[in-house]
């Protein structure tokens, strides 16, 4: 197996990134269009936006992505990281690719002085939860959402 390269996303990654992000959206049953994915990709490249991205490359092919951002932690007067999206092409899973992505995210946290990285997953995503149990600890908090329509 070739070495993995985990690096910041670049403009020329769009064509290879798009099917990965589409796969992520499909898994979570989130409707996405070419336009909505393009907006997300543009956010990843725009230094004025808080969203950043990593991609995982093997033999010149993108096989994974991670989208993250800085988030304030007011009760501690600290900044931390928040992982919005993590996806590895199903054909490329195994070989601890996910753990290597988290190693890269941990290093970003260290470099930026973030004390932690948080993320969410759906309860039924057992494969991801197995990874997450290896790299982090489950929080005691529950997530709530409020729509604008009430």
Domain ranges across the chain: 4-135
Name the pLDDT band for 95 (thresholds 50, 70, 90).
confident
Smallest CA-to-CA distance from 62 within 5, 107, 108 is with 5
Q: What is the pLDDT of residues 35-81, one digit of tens each?
A: 999 999 999 999 999 999 999 999 999 999 999 999 999 999 999 99
The 8-class DSSP code of residue 10 comes to -
CB 125 within 8 A of CB 59: no
Asked if residues 29 and 122 have their Cβ atoms less than 8 Å apart, the reply is no
pLDDT tens-place string over residues 4-22: 999 999 999 999 999 999 9
- Residue 1 pLDDT: 54
Q: Is a pLDDT exceeding 80 seen at residue 23? A: yes
Q: Which residues contact 42 (CB under 8 A, 6 or more apart)?
A: none
Higher pLDDT residue, 137 or 149?
Answer: 137
Does the structure show a pLDDT above 90 at 136?
Answer: yes
- The pLDDT assigned to 94 comes to 85
User: Please, which residues bridge with residue 79 across strands?
Assistant: 72
Contact between residue 76 and residue 113 where contact means Cβ atoms under 8 Å apart: no
| Average pLDDT for 102-116 | 98
Mean pLDDT of 29-40: 97
Instruction: Decide if pLDDT at 149 tops 60.
Output: yes
CA distances from 66 to 78, 87, 132, 146 (A): 22, 7, 14, 26
How many Å apart are CA 23 and CA 62, to the nearest integer? Answer: 13
Q: 4-135 is classed in which CATH architecture?
A: 3-Layer(aba) Sandwich (3.40)
Average pLDDT, the chain: 96
């Amino acid at each position: 197996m070739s070495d993995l390269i985990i690096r910041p996303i670049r403009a020329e990654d769009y064509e290879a990134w798009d099917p990965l992000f589409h796969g992520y959206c499909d898994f979570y049953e989130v409707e996405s269009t070419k336009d909505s994915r393009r907006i997300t990709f543009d956010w990843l490249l725009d230094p004025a936006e808080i969203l950043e991205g990593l991609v995982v490359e093997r033999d010149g092919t993108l096989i994974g992505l991670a989208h993250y951002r800085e988030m304030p932690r007011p009760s501690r007067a600290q900044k931390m990281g928040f992982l919005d999206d993590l996806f590895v092409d199903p054909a490329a899973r195994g070989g601890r690719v996910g753990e290597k992505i988290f190693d890269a995210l941990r290093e970003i946290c260290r470099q930026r002085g973030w004390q932690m990285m948080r993320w969410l997953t759906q309860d039924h995503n057992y494969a991801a939860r197995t990874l997450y149990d290896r790299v982090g600890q489950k929080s005691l908090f529950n997530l709530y959402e409020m729509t604008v329509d009430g």
